[in-house]
Amino acid sequence: MTNQSIGVRDANRTARLDTVTTIIEARGLVMQFPSTRALDQLEVSIPSGVTGLVGANGAGKTTLISLVLGLLKPSAGSISVLGLDPDTSGPELRAQIGYGPERNVFPDDLKAYDFVRHLAEVKGLPRDEARSRASDSLYLVGLGEERFRPLGTMSTGQRQRVKLAQAIAADPRLIVLDEPTDGLDPVQRDEMLNIIVQVNRDFGIDVMLSSHVLEEVERVCDHVVALAEGRLIAQGAMSELAGASGGIELELVDLADRPTSIDDVVTLLIGAGAGVRRSGVTLSVVGFPDDDLFDLAARSVAQAGARVRRLGQHRRTLDDIFATDTHVKPILDISATGMDGTTS
């Protein structure tokens, strides 16, 4: 690759970021299936870059992806992707999206090259262009030498790469990847994530990937949208949702003569307006500036007669977003977190 071409790509990317700042926007989105509500009043705004869609199985990730692609029609609310309505402008929109599904079942007899070439043609590329880009895409994902192997003979890792290759072959503006590292070992996972980052960084293609592995989302994504049971529980820049200070962490001693001391501390903290997540004898506390939290924790411990083993600042991770306990407040007040990471 020449330096000049890198410059052109960077310029392309910059131009794209200038023209589209919000690639997906959902307002009051509801998806009701006969027996379950998969998405409930979802308000999402996803900017350019690499966005992680996180949540446990059944959180609504795949449903949201299906709505983005226009595979499903929302029961209520609206969704806009690349400025288009998937329901009314589906063909035009989908020509600009590459999709890598979660499932790994593809025609076993088909060669990887034929699979990628065919889908590039279906996306509208002329035959000759589809042929050359199928090879280029497979080389990009590291399958250049394996491109004429039937899909049925490929490993899970290779199939994941083929899915990525077909998603990018037609040069989309946005690729949507559903669990792209599913079934991969740690080395393969790292390689796949590196390719995904490269696709965004070098070619300016926006990426939305779903995953239930929070660590990998933290590693590669610029933004995150977190879902739980069909509801939005967090969205924003990764730098704001993870890595920054996330309150304090308080490890207490389980005292035999004061068995309720830890519960008492939790009660006192919540009573003072703090958010608390308890994991055994460890409490994560948020809700005030760190200095105030330290003072509050010290007072609560003293009042409850508890004993402290460790007290320190808590570095926020995506795990915190999902950390909820039925008898304490969620640790992160998501509703107050804006897309730009500011809190109101």
Partner 1 sequence: MNAPGRGDAQIVERGFQRYEGRRSGVPGAIRSVSWESIRATLGLGRPARTKIFPVIAVVIAYLPAVVFIGIAVLIPGDILDPEEVADYPGYYGFIILAIVLFAALVAPEVLVSDRRNGMLAMYLSTPLNRGTYLAAKGVAVVTTLGLVTLGPPVLMLIGYTVEGEGPGGLGDWLLTLVRIVLSGIAISAALAAVSMAASSLTDRRAFAAIGIVLVVFAAPVLAAALVEGAELSPYWRVIDISSMPFELVFRIFDQPGNFPELATWSVLASNLVWTIGGIAIVWWRYSKLVIAR
Per rule CB under 8 A, is residue 148 in the interface with partner 1? no
CB of 139 to partner 1, least distance (A): 7
Instruction: With contacts defined by CB under 8 A, name the span among 86-94, 217-225, 302-310, 336-344 that binds partner 1.
Output: 86-94
Per rule CB under 8 A, is residue 88 in the interface with partner 1? no
Per rule CB under 8 A, is residue 30 in the interface with partner 1? no
What is d(CA 243, CA 200) in angstroms, rounded to the nearest whole number?
22
Residues 285-324 that bind partner 1 (CB under 8 A): none
Residues 300 and 282: beta-carbon distance below 8 Å = no
CB of 175 to partner 1, least distance (A): 11
CB of 114 to partner 1, least distance (A): 6
Token pair for residue 39?
């998405």
Measuring CA to CA, how many Å separate 224 from each of 86, 165, 293, 301, 317? Answer: 22, 24, 27, 35, 12
Per rule CB under 8 A, is residue 182 in the interface with partner 1? no
Residues 75 and 62: beta-carbon distance below 8 Å = no
Residues 246 and 316: beta-carbon distance below 8 Å = yes
Token pair for residue 278?
């308890």
| Of 95, 130, 94, residue with least CA distance to 113 | 130
Determine the distance from the C-alpha atom of residue 51 to the mean position of all C-alpha atoms in its chain, rounded to a whole number. Answer: 5
Q: Tell how strand 275-279 and strand 308-315 pair up.
A: unpaired
Instruction: With contacts defined by CB under 8 A, name the span among 21-29, 108-116, 226-234, 279-287 that binds partner 1.
Output: 108-116
Report phi then psi at 25, rounded to 5. Answer: -140, 125
What is d(CA 222, CA 220) in angstroms, rounded to the nearest whole number?
7
CB of 102 to partner 1, least distance (A): 6
CB of 19 to partner 1, least distance (A): 15
Among 19, 83, 139, 302, binds partner 1 (CB under 8 A): 139
Q: Which residues make up the interface to partner 1 (CB under 8 A)?
A: 1-2, 5, 9, 12, 33, 62-63, 65-66, 69-72, 90-92, 94-95, 97, 99, 101-103, 105-111, 114, 118-119, 121-126, 129, 133, 136-137, 139-140, 150, 166, 168, 170-171, 178, 203
